[in-house]
Homo-oligomer: A and B are copies of this chain.
C-alpha cells in the first residue's frame, strides 16, 4: 500500500493535530497519523499499516471482495456522518465475505478526498470502520490502504476472509427442492432511501439534512438501515456449517439477487458461467409472499410492504438455499423454495407466478441532483 508513514522533519508539511485542519493543510503524513490512531488491529495481521503491503496469516483458502462508495452516487455528505460512512463501508464489504460462508479477517481502505476535507471527517470514517468491525466481525480490522485526492470523497474497500476449512458457499449450487431463506433486515434500507430522497433534497436535487430531522425522530431504524446497515455477518459462517447449498448477500434487491442466484444455479450455459458443477436442470426461485410478510412484515416496529422487500436494496442481508430437511439456523426465515424452472425465462416467481426482478443498476438508475454522473 502507499499509505506510508512519513515523519515530521522530512520536508513534508504535517500540520498540527487540530480538529479544524483540512487534509490539504495537514499533508499525507499528518492525515495518516490521525487516521491510524482511530483503527484497531486485525488479529490476522502479521504486518499492519505502514509498509508497502500488509501481511496476513492465513490458514486455508482466502476470500477477497472489493466495493467502492463515492460521494454522490453512493452517499451524500448532508445525510451521511463520517462515522456512518465508515460503518457502511465496512458492513457492505463484510457482508460479501459472509455470503461466501467465510469469516472476515482484514480490510484495506483507500480514501481519496478533496483537499479542503477536514481531517476530522477522515478520523470519523476510521472510527466507523473500527466500530463496525468490532460489532459485526470481531477480530477483523483495517490492515492497510492508501490516501489521495479526488474531486469527491471516494472510498474503496477490500475485505479478506477465511473459510476455516469449509468449502465456499457459491451462489450457483442451489438445487430444486431446497428451501430459500433470508437473514437480516429486508426492505428497510430502501425505505430509508425513499425518505431521504422525499424530504432530504431541494428542488435542484441538492441533499440537505434539515428535511429529514423529523424522520430521524419517527423512523430512526429506516434511516439507520440505509446509512449504517447492520448485516448479520456471523450468520454467514453459521449458514455454511449448517449446510447452505448457495448463498449471496442482497445488495441490489431481493428480486434481482434471487433471480441471479437462480440463474447462476441453472444449467443454462449462459446463466451458469460461475457454476462449478453444471446442473442437469434449470431452477426457479419461488418466493412466498405469506412467508415474507410473516417474517418481515414488521421489523423493528416498522411496517414493511411486500414491494419494499422485493425491490429495496442495500440491506445486505443473506439470501441462502438450504436442503429441504435442514433446520434453519436461528436468524434465517423461510421465504420460498427452489423449484424446477417453470420456463427458461422465469428464474423468479412469486407465489408461483413469474415476477419481474427490479432494483438497482448503478449505470442506468438516475438519482436526483447528480446530473451527468
Taking Cβ atoms with an 8 Å cutoff, the residues of A that contact B are 1-2, 4-7, 9-13, 23-24, 26-29, 31, 46-47, 50-58, 60-68, 70, 72-74, 92, 95-97, 99-100, 102, 106, 108-110, 112, 114-116, 143-152, 154, 156, 158-161, 163, 168, 170-172, 247-249, 251-252, 256-257, 259-260, 263-264, 270-271, 273-274, 276, 345, 347, 356-358, 361-364, 372-373
Contacts and interface: CB of A to CB of B under 8 A. Distances in A.
A205 to B, nearest CB: 14
Contacts of A251: 2
A158 B108 contact: yes
A4 to B, nearest CB: 6
Nearest to A8: B270
B96 A53 contact: yes
Contact of A100 (B7, B26, B52, B273): B52
Contacts of A364: 12-13, 24, 27-28
A260 B67 contact: no
Contact of A248 (B51, B96, B116, B260): B51
A7 B55 CA distance: 37
Nearest to A162: B58
A307 to B, nearest CB: 15
A260 B55 contact: no
Contacts of A161: 53
Contacts of A67: 1-2, 110, 146
Q: Can you tell how many copies of this chain the complex includes?
A: 2
Given A66-B158, A114-B373, 4 more contacts: A1-B66, A1-B96, A7-B263, A56-B64
A56 B4 CA distance: 27
Contacts of A274: 5, 47, 50-51
Contact of A151 (B55, B148, B256, B373): B373
B114 A248 contact: no
A292 to B, nearest CB: 19
B28 A363 contact: yes
Contacts of A11: 256, 356-358
A58 B60 contact: yes
A97 to B, nearest CB: 6
A54 B64 contact: yes
A184 to B, nearest CB: 14
Closest 6 CB pairs of A and B: A156-B156, A50-B274, A53-B65, A158-B158, A52-B99, A66-B108
21 contacts: A2-B251, A4-B260, A6-B259, A7-B263, A10-B263, A27-B361, A27-B363, A28-B362, A47-B170, A50-B264, A51-B248, A52-B96, A52-B97, A52-B249, A53-B64, A53-B161, A55-B63, A66-B146, A72-B151, A116-B372, A149-B363
Contacts of A27: 361, 363-364
Contacts of A66: 1, 108-110, 144-146, 156, 158
